């Protein structure tokens, strides 16, 4: 009988201890939740590209298409000067340094024309002509024209038949007239200057506004596509592997870098657009002089 009493007392004591521990655990959880709620974030939240108007499902769809690495622009055939940079700077080559140079250079020379074409697609021909005159590097000009004509071909063969509701009829007509003019220029073999070149920047801005993308979304996708092309070139040049490339693409540094150059060039007029990193023209221009290369000049 005494043994049963002792066992009962021990069981009761253990149950009381469990109840006490559970109460202490609940109080500790409550204090932790309160501390997390009151805790200030150590870093400000990253700015996400946004639009002043809701993004429609159709515009969202085309945004994803234009940002897709599988979009057949031919951009991955060019290294944007990376291969030449590696050849001229080894063993001190640094991809993060080159990425900063390239972002700043591409934004200062091309982004103002993308923004201007989005704001005023009716000026597409004049913007294309101005950019053609502004590009000093022949190799860079060839790459811009090749990708711009590829995008125009994608528009003509694919996007034009699936326009979103509310697409600007005037802007569509401008693109149609530009296409006709470009074909006439290409078929007319003369020594005269071409009346249309179809550079990537103005083409991208004009097509993006027709597809319903906002100005900021257009700028972000345009610069992000440039970063993806550079990372792809770095992988094929054996600077690092594909997993590291994705890590860099997802990093806060790349997001902040894109946002920074967009803000810098947001109000830049096309008359003020120009090369901010002169050595980039040297690296790009000397690419076709390399003894061996894996990318197009």
- On average, the pLDDT of the chain sits at 86
Q: In whole angstroms, what separates CA 284 from the centre of its chain?
A: 20
* Residue 54 three-state SS: coil
With bands split at pLDDT 50, 70 and 90, how would you rate the model's confidence at 40?
very low
For the whole model, what pTM was predicted? 0.78
Cis peptide bond N-terminal to 92, omega within 30:
no
Q: Is pLDDT of 45 > 50?
A: no
Instruction: Give the confidence band of 38 by pLDDT, cuts at 50, 70, 90.
Output: low
Q: Cα–Cα distance between 164 and 174 in angstroms, integer? A: 17
User: For 53-83, how does the pLDDT look when each residue is reduced to its tens digit (9 = 90+)?
Assistant: 455 578 888 999 999 988 999 887 889 999 9
Rounded alpha-carbon distances, angstroms, from residue 281 to 4, 110, 141, 175: 93, 14, 11, 30
What are 149-152's contacts with CB under 8 Å, separation 24+?
A: 149/182, 149/198, 150/72, 150/73, 150/74, 151/73, 151/200, 151/203, 151/204, 151/207, 152/178, 152/179, 152/182, 152/198, 152/203
* Band of pLDDT at residue 47, cut at 50, 70 and 90: low
- Looking at residue 187, what is its pLDDT? 67
Least confident segment among 38-52, 78-92, 115-129:
38-52
Q: What is the pLDDT of residues 78-94, one digit of tens each?
A: 899 999 999 999 888 89
Q: Which of 28-37, 104-113, 247-256 shows the lowest mean pLDDT across its residues?
A: 28-37
Q: How many CB atoms lie within 10 A of CB 232?
A: 18
Cβ burial of 15 (10 Å; 0-12, 13-18, 19+) is exposed
The answer to whether the CB of 215 falls within 8 A of the CB of 202 is: no
Mean pLDDT of 279-283: 92
Q: Is the pLDDT of residue 205 over 50?
A: yes
pLDDT per residue as tens digits for the range 221-257: 999 999 999 999 999 999 999 999 999 999 999 999 9
* CA triple 144-193-173, angle to 5 deg: 65
Q: CA 158, 163, 167 angle in degrees (round to 5)?
A: 140
pLDDT tens readout for residues 157-173: 999 888 888 888 899 99
pLDDT on residue 274: 93
pLDDT at 52 over 70: no
Q: What is the mean pLDDT of residues 142-162?
A: 93
Percent of the chain past pLDDT 90, that is, above it, reads: 58
Which residues, including other chains, have CB under 8 Å from residue 214's CB and lie 6 or more apart? 50, 51, 52, 53, 55
């Amino acid at each position: 009988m005494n043994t049963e009493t002792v066992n009962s007392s021990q069981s009761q004591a253990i149950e009381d201890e469990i109840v006490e521990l559970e109460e202490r655990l609940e109080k500790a959880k409550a204090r932790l939740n309160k501390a997390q709620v009151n805790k200030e974030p150590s870093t400000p939240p990253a700015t996400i590209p946004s639009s002043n108007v809701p993004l429609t499902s159709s515009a969202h769809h085309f945004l994803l298409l234009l940002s897709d690495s599988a979009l057949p622009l031919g951009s991955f055939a060019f290294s944007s000067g990376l291969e030449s940079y590696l050849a001229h700077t080894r063993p001190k080559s640094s991809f993060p340094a080159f990425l900063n140079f390239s972002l700043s250079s591409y934004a200062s020379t091309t982004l103002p024309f993308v923004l201007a074409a989005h704001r005023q697609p009716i000026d597409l021909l004049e913007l294309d002509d101005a950019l053609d005159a502004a590009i000093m590097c022949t190799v860079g000009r060839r790459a811009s024209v090749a990708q711009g004509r590829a995008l125009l071909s994608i528009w003509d063969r694919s996007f034009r038949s699936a326009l979103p509701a509310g697409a600007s009829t005037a802007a569509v007509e401008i693109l149609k007239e530009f296409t006709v003019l470009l074909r006439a220029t290409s078929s007319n073999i003369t020594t005269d200057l071409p009346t249309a070149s179809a550079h990537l920047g103005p083409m991208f801005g004009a097509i993006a506004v027709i597809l319903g993308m906002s100005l900021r979304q257009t700028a972000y996708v345009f610069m992000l596509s440039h970063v993806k092309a550079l990372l792809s070139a770095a992988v094929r040049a054996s600077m690092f592997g594909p997993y590291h490339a994705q890590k860099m693409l997802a990093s806060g540094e790349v997001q902040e870098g894109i946002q920074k150059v967009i803000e810098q060039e947001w109000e830049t007029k096309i008359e003020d657009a120009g090369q901010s990193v002169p050595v980039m023209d040297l690296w790009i221009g000397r690419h076709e002089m390399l003894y061996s290369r894996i990318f197009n000049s």
